[in-house]
């Protein structure tokens, strides 16, 4: 089955590596001291982000059960950076993924741990996340899925601030300290041709959330509308209930040069805010060396002061 290939063969878009690669601390002698290494790292980050944009749109699962590696496999990555001298800071990250593919059954578990301290030695990140993704393909059109996620934000309670930092505390109290969802359901490919793929899926599950205010047992509220925040007791320690998720994935290729995608997700639950996301993307392969992707993303969350956020994204890659 013919698919659009985006700049394969160019150095900037080489993504498939058979073994882990570890970069040097500098790209050439003297590069660290002159600042060249840090800029080179940022260039790599931009290249990776653009590659991820194209890969998400050119999804190999759009037409059916993708041909993936069989058996059990995984990876683990750890990074740590600590500095002393003019500032005292630390950053630690641990990420890993384990996958198992056996015929029509495919599943993976991923984890991410991130901890950090700012230049004053105060914690500025303490997050732990676990995800699960499973699918069973009955045939090219019909499948069943399982999706799970659980995230913990250890700083979403204002504990890292002093008594006079109520404005900063209020921001953290509104964040989720705990946020999890697990759901199962069927999926079906309504259209599954060489040029067009449209699949829809819907599931039911369980959603659990706990805001920083619920974790701390209090919230900061401007009760008199005078700009002064007062501490108000929060009785409910968490929100949980039945959750629902509905998703749509549309892909259409006009020709070997242009294809579009439109991805929509709707997450609802009894006691937590409804969340809707939609991303529309247009991809152009204008030549063997030049590819462009333009996307427009809309994110809606119920009960926010401004409920809808819109983001325009443009990615361009030229290889020579």
Range of the domain at 39: 1-17+26-58+273-320
Q: Same structural domain for residues 161 and 284?
A: no
Model confidence at 31, pLDDT cuts 50, 70, 90, reads: confident
Q: Same structural domain for residues 122 and 240?
A: yes
Q: Is the pLDDT of residue 20 over 80?
A: no
Tell me if 189 is assigned to some domain: yes
Phi and psi torsions of 215, nearest 5°: -70, -40
Indicate the residue among 255, 284, 304 that finishes a domain.
255
Mean pLDDT of 146-173: 69
> What is the four-CA torsion angle of 26, 30, 33, 34, rounded to 10 degrees?
-100
138 half-sphere exposure, CB direction, 13 A CA radius: 9
Q: Same structural domain for residues 147 and 210?
A: yes
Q: Same structural domain for residues 34 and 118?
A: no
Tens digits of residue pLDDT in 53-102: 777 776 666 666 666 778 999 999 999 988 887 777 888 999 999 999 99
Q: Is the pLDDT of residue 124 over 60?
A: yes
Tell me if 146 is assigned to some domain: yes
Q: Same structural domain for residues 83 and 147?
A: yes
Q: Same structural domain for residues 110 and 179?
A: yes
Tell me if 87 is assigned to some domain: yes
Indicate the residue among 226, 255, 284 that finishes a domain.
255
> What is the tally of structural domains in the chain?
2
Q: Same structural domain for residues 73 and 117?
A: yes
Q: Same structural domain for residues 83 and 162?
A: yes
Residue 26's DSSP bridge partners are none
pLDDT at res. 189: 92
Q: Same structural domain for residues 77 and 216?
A: yes
Q: Same structural domain for residues 198 and 317?
A: no
Of residues 214 and 174, more confidence is placed in: 214
Of residues 268 and 57, more confidence is placed in: 268
Tens digits of residue pLDDT in 302-320: 877 788 999 999 988 888 8
In this structure, of 49-58, 195-204, 301-310, the range with the lowest mean pLDDT score is: 49-58
Tell me if 266 is assigned to some domain: no
Q: How many CB atoms lie within 10 A of CB 172?
A: 23
Phi and psi torsions of 274, nearest 5°: -70, 145
């Amino acid at each position: 089955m013919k698919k659009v290939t985006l700049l394969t063969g160019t150095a900037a878009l080489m993504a498939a590596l058979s073994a882990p690669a570890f970069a040097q601390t500098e790209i050439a002698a003297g590069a660290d001291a002159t600042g060249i290494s840090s800029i080179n790292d940022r260039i790599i980050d931009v290249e990776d982000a653009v590659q991820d944009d194209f890969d998400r749109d050119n999804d190999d699962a759009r037409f059916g059960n993708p041909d993936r590696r069989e058996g059990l496999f995984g990876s683990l990555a750890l990074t740590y950076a600590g500095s002393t001298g003019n500032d005292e800071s630390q950053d630690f990250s641990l990420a890993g993924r384990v996958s198992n593919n056996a015929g029509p059954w495919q599943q993976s578990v991923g984890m991410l741990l991130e901890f950090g301290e700012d230049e004053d030695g105060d914690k500025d990140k303490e997050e732990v996340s676990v995800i699960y993704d499973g699918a069973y393909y009955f045939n090219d059109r019909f499948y069943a899925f399982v999706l799970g996620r659980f995230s913990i934000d250890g700083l979403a309670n204002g504990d890292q601030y002093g008594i006079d930092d109520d404005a900063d505390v209020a921001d953290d109290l509104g964040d989720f300290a705990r946020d999890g969802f697990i759901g199962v359901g069927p999926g079906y490919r309504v259209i599954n041709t060489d040029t067009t793929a449209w699949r829809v899926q819907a599931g039911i599950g369980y959603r659990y959330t706990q805001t920083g205010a619920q974790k701390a047992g209090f919230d900061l509220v401007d009760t008199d509308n005078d700009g002064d925040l007062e501490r108000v007791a929060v009785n409910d320690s968490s929100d949980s209930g039945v959750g629902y998720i509905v998703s749509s994935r549309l892909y259409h290729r006009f020709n070997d040069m242009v294809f579009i995608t439109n991805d929509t997700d709707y997450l609802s639950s009894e006691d937590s805010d409804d969340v809707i996301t939609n991303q529309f993307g247009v991809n152009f392969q204008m030549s063997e060396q030049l590819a462009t992707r333009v996307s427009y993303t809309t994110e809606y969350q119920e009960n926010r002061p401004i409920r809808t956020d819109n983001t325009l994204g443009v990615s361009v890659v030229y290889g020579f």
